[in-house]
Structures are given as structure tokens and as C-alpha cells.
């Protein structure tokens, strides 16, 4: 039996589930759904009172004054385009296992009306073929964030991939470390930490940590400036490399691919006909990978050392595959 005070929640659930700007319910239809779904008999005036009470709590509900038809929930925690983006992000994330992703997407869709939900269900959310992780990742993140907030060290097993696609314990495991921040970068979650007795900071992939145990010992203090975002950029995104400047020429047909790879880090220096020369400021590994991928379509102008490095790679490949 639903109490009288709880009926306001029933009215809210009906508005949330069965209304949007394209699907409006008059008071009589709300009364019918209350009876059908919750077995609640509510007078028309009580429907009006409950809607006004919801409005007084900051819930935006459009009504007869605005549309002359009935009521609908005008504002939700997430708009439909936002939910679609979140569903895409969940489906495309390599760290979320497919079954877990389906559950999360279902919950996200449940924040919309059933009509908007049907629209979303017609959207194809492409699954990545690399999904291998499960809910343990979320438990690890939660346990580490608790330790960070409490300022305590943790003991955990450090894992690495085995040849059978499973995990095996590393030779330097287990480890005791001070956790400082969780970082999302390059499609993975990392914990920024300092091992006990070590001097410098390290980062570990959180999905490659097991059996996290909080300890009754405070974290080691970090002296000097500490910026997790800058650390992530330098040591995770750029792998600890220093940016360098490169000059490359190529045919203009390649511009889209270069723009996708380097964006504002690539500056056009000269354009003659269909030939373009650009200056790129990036870490060596990123430029090296791009040049090798488009080796027959570009020419390295400078620095000379980098040009010679690519020549050496090509020569070794020639000796290996065409000798």
C-alpha cells in the first residue's frame, strides 16, 4: 500500500517515464496511469497539488498554461543528446566489459521517457573487440579513491598480461605505495602513486592491480609542486619524452590525416602547388609512427638526425624482408 506522502513520487515517475515535449499527458491520463501502475486513486485536484509541489522543489514541469494540452517533464538531469553521447562513450570504452556496458546503457536510457528511450534503442552502439575487463575495475577505482581521501597507503598485487591473454603477477609484486590521484588517459585508468622507499612518482594501470588492501599508515608527503594533469600529459600521453620540432613536406591530399594526428601542433610553413611544408611540435614517438605509416607520401626536411633515423629503420626493414 502506497502512503499518501509517497504518491507525489508516483506522479513524478509517471511524468519522467511517459512524458516529454512531444508526449503530453492531461491530468485525467495521469490519474489513469496512477491507478493502472500503482493502484492509487487520486482526485484531479490532488494531481494538480502534487505537480505544484514538484515544481516548488525545482522540477521543471510544463502545463496547461504553456501548451493548453497537459503536463510533461521539461527538464531532466541529462538531455537526450547528452545521453546519446554517454551511451556512445560507454559502448566505445575498452575498459568496460560488454555485459557491464549493456547494463550501464540501460540505466542511462532509463533517465529518459519511454519514447525517447525507444529512439535511443534504435541507435547502434558499436562494441569494441578489445573489451576484457569487468566490474573489478570499478571496485579498484573506488578502493583507491577511498585510500586517497583517507590519506593512507595501500598494499596490492601488480599484474601484467600473459601470453594466454590472462594476467600474471609481476616479479616486483606485491607493492606498498602511497596513492595520490586517479587519472583517465589514453583509454585507461591509472593510479598516480609512490612506492614505499622509492623516490619518484609512478603510475600503474588500475585494471592491472589486484587485492587492494588499505594500511594504517599515512601516505608519504610530496614536496614541491604537484600537478596530476601535467604528470599525465608528460609521462602517460607523451611517455616521458620531450617535444621536438620537425619539418615535413607532403602532398596536400595527406593534410586531413596530418590534421587528425597533430591538430594545432602542425603549422603550415609553405605551400607550392600541391606540395605543403609543415612544422610539427610533438614527441618523437608520435612523429616517428606517423612518418612510417605514410613513408611513401611525405619527406622529412629536418632535423637531419631524425631523417637519418628513419633511413636506418627503412634499411633494416629492407635487409629483413627483401634480402
| Fold of domain 136-237 | SH3 type barrels. (2.30.30)
The answer to whether 60 and 14 have CB atoms below 8 angstroms apart is no
* 184-218 per-position pLDDT tens digit: 877 778 899 989 888 888 889 998 899 999 998 88
**pTM for the complete prediction?**
0.60
* 264-306 per-position pLDDT tens digit: 888 888 888 888 889 998 888 888 888 988 888 889 998 999 9
Point out which residues pair with 209 in neighbouring strands: 158
The answer to whether 219 and 152 have CB atoms below 8 angstroms apart is yes
| Fold of domain 244-322 | Alpha-Beta Plaits (3.30.70)
Residues of the chain with pLDDT under 70: 1-2, 4, 94-95, 122-135, 223-224, 238, 240, 323
Q: Which among 147, 227, 204 has a CA at the least distance from the CA of 179?
A: 147
Domain ranges of the chain: 7-73, 80-121, 136-237, 244-322
**Who's near 126: CB < 8 A, 6+ residues apart?**
91, 92
- The three-class DSSP label of residue 128 is coil
Q: What are phi and psi of 265, to 5 degrees?
A: -75, -5
Query: Residue 70: which region, alpha, beta or left (left: phi > 0; alpha: psi -120 to 50)?
Result: left
The architecture CATH gives domain 7-73: Orthogonal Bundle (1.10)
Q: How many CB atoms lie within 10 A of CB 171?
A: 7
Amino acid at each position: 500500500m502506497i502512503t499518501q506522502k509517497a504518491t507525489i513520487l508516483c506522479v513524478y515517475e509517471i511524468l519522467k517515464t511517459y512524458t516529454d515535449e512531444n508526449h503530453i499527458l492531461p491530468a485525467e491520463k495521469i490519474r489513469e496511469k496512477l491507478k493502472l501502475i500503482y493502484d492509487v486513486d487520486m482526485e484531479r485536484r490532488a494531481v494538480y497539488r502534487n505537480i505544484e509541489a514538484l515544481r516548488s522543489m525545482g522540477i521543471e514541469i510544463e502545463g496547461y498554461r504553456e501548451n493548453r494540452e497537459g503536463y510533461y517533464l521539461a527538464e531532466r538531469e541529462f538531455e537526450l543528446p547528452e545521453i546519446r553521447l554517454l551511451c556512445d562513450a560507454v559502448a566505445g570504452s575498452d575498459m568496460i566489459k560488454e555485459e557491464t556496458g549493456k547494463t550501464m546503457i540501460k540505466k542511462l536510457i532509463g533517465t529518459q521517457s519511454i519514447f525517447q528511450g525507444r529512439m535511443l534503442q534504435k541507435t547502434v552502439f558499436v562494441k569494441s573487440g578489445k573489451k576484457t575487463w569487468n566490474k573489478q575495475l570499478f571496485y579498484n577505482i573506488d578502493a583507491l579513491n577511498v585510500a586517497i581521501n583517507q590519506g593512507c597507503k595501500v598494499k596490492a598485487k601488480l599484474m601484467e598480461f600473459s601470453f594466454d591473454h590472462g594476467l600474471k603477477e609481476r616479479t616486483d609484486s606485491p607493492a606498498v605505495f602511497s596513492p595520490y590521484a586517479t587519472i583517465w588517459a589514453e583509454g585507461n585508468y591509472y593510479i598516480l602513486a609512490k612506492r614505499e622507499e622509492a623516490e619518484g612518482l609512478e603510475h600503474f594501470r588500475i585494471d592491472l592491480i589486484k587485492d587492494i588492501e588499505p594500511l594504517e599508515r599515512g601516505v608519504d608527503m610530496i614536496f614541491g609542486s604537484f600537478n596530476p594533469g601535467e604528470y599525465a600529459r608528460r609521462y602517460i600521453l607523451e611517455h616521458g619524452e620531450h617535444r621536438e620540432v620537425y619539418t615535413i613536406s607532403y602532398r596536400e591530399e595527406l593534410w586531413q590525416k596530418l590534421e587528425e594526428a597533430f591538430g594545432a601542433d602542425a603549422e603550415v610553413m609553405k605551400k607550392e602547388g600541391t606540395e605543403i611544408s609543415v612544422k610539427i611540435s610533438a614527441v618523437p614517438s608520435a612523429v616517428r609512427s606517423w612518418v612510417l605509416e605514410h613513408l611513401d607520401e611525405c619527406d622529412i626536411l629536418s632535423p637531419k638526425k631524425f631523417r637519418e633515423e628513419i633511413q636506418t629503420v627503412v634499411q633494416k626493414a629492407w635487409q629483413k624482408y627483401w634480402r
